[in-house]
């Protein structure tokens, strides 16, 4: 297991308790070499190669195969683009980073989540595909680097649950950086997160609290507890909004599609941190072309043991269906390529709109744009 950069002291985590481009590349398109015999001046136009992942499934959730460049339409900042090529999933290797939250629960569902996630890797990955495994705890921790399905699945099963705080943003950022540095440029990069999306220990979140208390200084003793809690929550929420924007840009710049499964189910609505966590994951998924799954789990901790057992089976079936849908989306993923000649400032976000020429009975998920760089 590889430990990534350490976190701030746990005391600040305790205080906390009181979601490049859109493209897989922006490769300059070769410009024509001027012919000395030509009298007219040659105008050089540099364009960027934009590669957009798009998953297409039918009404039953099964992958739609055999599509080509005539099957898609793309608007860039509202302007129609000429599609150069469309590559299907079976022709491009898959790179998965699976992030497993170890802090949320030690319930009987935890083991099934592990087993189902491991089975998912074994089902979706081919011999040429690779997966890396991270745990989301008080610090980003890489359990195992790029490896085959069997080895990665075993790594997932080895993760032990804890009651640690969570560095959600830092772990997603670490996984993005790892894929960017280690995955082949031609691969389909995907992050799959099993978490409620809550963050209580990422560097920038904790630092915002630290800065608040440093600013208050000795005056902290004269502030009542209710006011202090409100100030702490405001500092945390402001930092979380900045982290959402920062991590989303990291995902887009690293050409990575985000998927999440929230094991909290409908109980995510219990507090504002949980709601914001789910909203983050939904935003990351929507903007990168993935999906944020929110299962409707039944309670398994009631006084009725028979009901608990039946609900456990129902929950297992729900989770299994989600991983099957995720498998189908990855198997139906196309890489759409076009050259952009648009003149946009560096760092600006360019909106994309990808549609099907024949959308009847089909669902399309694609990236919503990219940052110019």
pLDDT of the residue at 264: 78
State the Cα–Cα distance between residues 188 and 23, nearest whole angstrom: 11
327, 125 Cβ separation under 8 angstroms: no
Report d(CA 323, CA 124) in Å as an integer.
10
Radius of gyration over alpha carbons of the chain, in Å?
23
pLDDT at 205: 92
Domain residue extents for the chain: 2-26+89-314
CA distance readout (Å), 126 to 90, 155, 271, 320, 335? 9, 17, 40, 20, 18
Q: Taking the chain, what is the end-to-end CA distance rounded to the nearest angstrom?
A: 34
At residue 54, φ and ψ (nearest 5 deg) are -145, 125
SS (H, E, C) 232-254: HHHHHHHHHHHHHHHHHHHHHHC
The confidence score (pLDDT) of residue 266 equals 65
Q: For residue 305, give the 3-state DSSP assignment.
A: helix
Q: Is 22 helix (H, G, I), strand (E, B) or coil?
A: coil
Residue 70 has what pLDDT?
96
Residue 146 backbone dihedrals phi, psi, to 5 degrees: -50, 125
Supply 205's token pair: 């979140």
pLDDT tens track of the chain, all 373 residues?
655 554 444 433 433 334 333 334 444 555 444 444 444 443 334 678 898 999 999 999 899 999 999 999 999 999 999 999 999 888 899 999 999 998 755 456 788 889 999 999 999 999 999 999 999 999 999 999 999 999 999 999 999 888 778 999 999 999 999 999 999 988 899 999 999 898 988 999 999 999 999 999 888 888 988 999 999 989 999 999 999 999 999 999 988 999 999 987 666 566 788 888 899 999 999 999 999 998 888 878 788 889 888 988 888 899 899 999 999 999 999 989 999 988 999 989 999 999 999 999 999 999 999 999 8
- pLDDT at residue 10, rounded to an integer: 42
Q: Which long-range contacts (CB under 8 A, 24 or more apart) does 126-129 make?
A: 126/93, 126/94, 128/93, 129/93, 129/94, 129/95, 129/96
Tokens of 154: 């075993």
Residue 82, classified by CB atoms within 10 Å of its CB into exposed (0-12), middle (13-18) or buried (19+), is exposed
d(CA 22, CA 48): 12
The conformation of residue 298, written as its DSSP 8-state character, comes to P
Q: Which CATH number fits domain 2-26+89-314: 3.40.50.410, 3.40.50.620, 3.50.50.60, 3.20.140.10?
A: 3.40.50.410
Nearest to 259 by CA among 359, 180, 189: 189
Q: What are phi and psi of 6, to 5 degrees?
A: -70, 165
- Nearest-angstrom CA–CA distance, 254 and 272: 29
Between CA 69 and CA 74 the distance in angstroms is 10
**Can you give the pLDDT at residue 108?**
63
């Amino acid at each position: 297991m590889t430990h990534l950069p350490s976190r701030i002291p746990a005391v600040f985590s305790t205080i906390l308790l009181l979601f490049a481009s859109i493209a897989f590349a922006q490769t300059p398109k070769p410009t024509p070499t001027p012919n000395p015999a030509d009298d007219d001046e040659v105008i050089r136009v540099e364009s960027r190669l934009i590669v957009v992942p798009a998953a297409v499934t039918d009404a039953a959730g099964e992958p739609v195969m055999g599509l080509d460049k005539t099957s898609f339409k793309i608007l860039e900042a509202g302007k129609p683009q000429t599609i150069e090529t469309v590559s299907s999933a079976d022709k491009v290797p898959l790179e998965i980073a699976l992030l497993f939250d170890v802090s949320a629960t030690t319930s009987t569902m935890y083991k099934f989540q592990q087993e189902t996630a491991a089975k998912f890797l074994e089902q979706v990955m081919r011999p040429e595909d690779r997966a890396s495994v991270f745990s989301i705890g008080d610090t980003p921790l890489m359990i195992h680097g790029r490896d085959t399905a069997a080895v990665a699945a075993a790594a997932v099963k080895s993760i032990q649950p804890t009651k640690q705080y969570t560095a959600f943003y830092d772990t997603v950022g670490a996984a993005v950086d790892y894929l960017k540095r280690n995955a082949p440029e031609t691969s389909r990069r995907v992050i799959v997160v099993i978490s409620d999306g809550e963050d209580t220990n990422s560097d920038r979140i904790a630092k915002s609290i630290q800065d608040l208390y440093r600013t208050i200084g000795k005056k902290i003793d004269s502030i009542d507890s209710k006011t202090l809690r409100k100030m702490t929550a405001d500092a945390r929420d402001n930092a979380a909004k900045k982290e959402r924007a920062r991590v989303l840009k990291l995902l887009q710049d690293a050409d990575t599609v985000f998927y999440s499964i929230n094991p909290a189910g409908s109980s995510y609505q219990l507090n504002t941190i949980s709601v914001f966590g789910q909203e983050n994951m939904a935003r990351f998924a929507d903007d990168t072309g993935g999906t944020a799954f929110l299962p409707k789990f039944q309670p398994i901790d009631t006084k009725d043991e028979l009901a608990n057992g039946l609900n456990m089976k129902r929950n297992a079936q729900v989770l299994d269906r989600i991983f099957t849908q995720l498998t189908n989306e990855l198997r139906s993923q196309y890489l759409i390529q076009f050259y952009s000649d648009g003149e946009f400032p560096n760092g600006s976000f360019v909106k994309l709109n990808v549609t099907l020429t024949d959308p009847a009975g089909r669902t399309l998920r694609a990236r919503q744009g990219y940052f110019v760089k």
